Amino acid sequence: MVAPEAADEGSCSAVNARVLVPWQSVSDALGDLGDLGDLGDLGDLGGGSLTVEVFTGDAPGPEDLGDVVFFTVPYDRPFSYEPIPRLSGVRVVQTLTAGYDRLVALLRSGVTLCTARGLHDSSTAEHALGLILAAQRELPRWVRAQDESRWEHAHTRSLAGCRVPIVGYGSIGSALDARLRACEAETVRVARRARPDEQVFGVAELDGLLPSADIVVLTAPLSAETRGLLDARRLALLPDGSLVVNVGRGPVLDTSAILAETASGRLRAALDVTDPEPLPPGHPLWHSPGTIITPHVAGGAAAFYPKAMEFIVQQVRSFAAGQPLRNVVAEPMSGE
């Protein structure tokens, strides 16, 4: 950040600072933040003003970023993360993703990191449910038959009556839980730690839950603990014909292990995230039997954007007024 010029000893000079937001609608809603007077408890701004500017992430950020104090990472744009190493005075980095594993290595110490936890719940849960139904009712098969004008009559699996562990039970898992139960599935909640009062199992109990699963859904974030969580040993615990769904992070599922299981026809997979990602042309996952792949699009449905716009406006206003922010990551660690 641009350092305030020297003033009378013991006083703090007024400076101007910038807030970067990803959409013009957010900038319009925020208006002139300078009207907020002394900017709450941001003492070293000394009564200066905040200017809101739009950075869409469609191109690299401007050269001069030293006075940016609040940066919102644009969602799913080619240059979303490009400015971060150059934000020398940034106070808050607000991501629009629930996970933040890509961010921590780019942040300097002392920066407050906030996530978009809760904003993608509906979109991701819908997509996960869609993947499950597509796999259980073999929708890709019928689409291919339609392309060939071929009437191919057959009966399929169902979702009703299936036992479905949701691994990484948080806000997205909760939203999926409600949708699966509405489809008459039996859900099993699994989180990092057991929460008996909420009927949530700990991940340490996962080995005992997998042998009775029909479908297992991964909604877990990526961390040192979750990387390779569903590996060859754990996949081997699943019954024949089980479906593995991943809408969390690609490396939570061992790619080589799920490839071996789907190639043999023993297990099926429905993946919105992969490892590597993007999945390169020619990768065997593309054509592995019983596998459905979507290109990491679960969270970006229309339901996300109105929530995200309102959330950014609230966060920036809270920042400018010196009020607590939502979804602050307590101690972001590399790879978490």
| pLDDT > 80? residue 1 | no
Could you tell me the pTM of the whole model? 0.87
pLDDT at 101: 84
Helix (DSSP H) and strand (DSSP E) numbers for the chain: 8, 12
- CA-nearest of 132, 82, 156 to 292 is 132
pLDDT at 330: 76
Collapse the DSSP code of 306 into the 3-class scheme (helix H, G, I; strand E, B; otherwise coil) and give the result: helix
CA distance 223 to 258: 20
pLDDT at 3: 35
Two structure tokens written together for 150: 């071929």
CB 239 within 8 A of CB 227: no
pLDDT at 75: 95
Q: What is the pLDDT of residues 43-85, one digit of tens each?
A: 455 556 789 999 999 999 999 999 999 999 999 999 999 999 9
pLDDT at 49: 79
Q: What is the pLDDT of residues 175-224, one digit of tens each?
A: 999 999 999 999 999 999 999 999 999 999 999 999 999 999 999 999 99
CA distance 147 to 142: 9
CA distance 133 to 226: 26
Task: List the strands of the sheet with 186-191, edge to edge.
Answer: 200-202, 186-191, 163-167, 215-218, 243-246, 268-271, 291-293
How does DSSP assign 53-91, residue by residue? EE--SSSPPPS--TTEEEEEPPTT-TTTTTTGGG-TT--
- CA-nearest of 175, 188, 200 to 120 is 175
Residue 68 CA, chain-centre distance (Å), reads 25
CA distance 31 to 190: 43
| pLDDT > 50? residue 6 | no
Q: What is the mean pLDDT of the chain?
A: 90
- Amino acid identity at 29: A
The neighbour count for residue 102, using CB atoms within 10 Å, is 15
- CA-nearest of 274, 314, 322 to 297 is 274
How does DSSP assign 129-156, residue by residue? HHHHHHHHTTHHHHHHHHHTT-------
| pLDDT > 50? residue 274 | yes
What are the residues whose beta carbons fall under 8 Å from the beta carbon of 281, sequence distance 6 or more? Answer: none
| pLDDT > 90? residue 283 | yes
